[in-house]
Structure 1
Amino acid sequence: MNGKITRKNPVTMPTPVGNYTHITRIPKEADLFVTSGQIGVDMKGDIPIDFNAQVKNTFINMKHVLESEALDENNIIKVNIWATEKIDWDYLYSEWDGLFGENYPAMTIGYISELGLPEIKIEIELWAAKPE
């Protein structure tokens, strides 16, 4: 293997139905990073009522947690998204594409009845790897 994180959509698989990749390969000697679920809280500790405002804050928080370990979008290998209400995909994908471009990681999405606090509407967990 070439020591790089690689992503692909096998030709034997259906095309992804969203902005993700079917499989991501991590080199053997890479450091693995797993974040707690990031939510839409701002630096003052406020969580907006509006779903898309929470999405925006969540992506800001994801960028900050990545930067804290000198990671960027190329290091993200897996994203888990949980939401308590219908996702505005046009808005989420505008934030998503702003972070990833077209270098999409693997992704799982789940709709659930509630998250850790009643005001939280979306939570996103990141898995990242940094090859040596």
Structure 2
Amino acid sequence: MKNAINPASVRKPFGNYNHGFLVPQGASLLVTSGQLGIALDDTIPEGVTAQAELCFKAIGAILEEAGMTYADVIRISGFVTRREDFPAYMAVRDRYTLDPKPVSTLLVVGGFTRAEFLVEVEVTAAKVVTL
């Protein structure tokens, strides 16, 4: 369904991602808002690993509601507040990414709406519609 694009003229990806994806005509497209590491009871766990787990679990629920899975994710955008949290975030992200690996961007940002938030994740997913 989706075709990974990794031109030989562009340096190989640094990690578990592809440089691009080509989505065919007729595919359903899902775009999520950024998900934060906050539980249903409004608790916010300490640490980027626990927060990232909540982000990806929320995304999984959104995908399921749309009739999709992590196999349909074509793009992940992650945002962390501290450069040193990069490895912990990536370890969580890599547990949720399936082959072929989606395209991925990670940014270090100054903060979120509340100081307790350490990570935010959004995805784009595409799935061919079968009639």
Question: Normalization by structure 1: what TM-score?
Answer: 0.87
Question: How large is the Cα RMSD of the aligned pairs?
Answer: 1.5
Matched, 1:54 2:41: no
Taking the TM superposition and a 5 Å limit, the aligned residue runs for 1:23-102 are: 23-86=20-83, 87-89=85-87, 91-102=88-99
In the alignment, what sits opposite 1:129? 126
Task: Give 1:97's aligned amino acid.
Answer: D
Provide structure 1 residue ranges, at least 5 long, that are not aligned to the other structure.
none
Percent of aligned pairs with the same residue? 27
Task: Say whether the 8 Å CA contact 1:82–1:112 is kept in structure 2.
Answer: yes
For residue 88 of structure 1, report the CA deviation from its aligned partner: 4.2
CA distance in 2, matches of 1:63, 1:109: 19
Question: Normalization by structure 2: what TM-score?
Answer: 0.88
Task: Give aligned pairs, total.
Answer: 128
CA distance in 2, matches of 1:119, 1:98: 24
Task: Give 1:120's aligned amino acid.
Answer: F
CA distance in 2, matches of 1:76, 1:110: 19
Provide structure 2 residue ranges, at least 5 long, that are not aligned to the other structure.
none
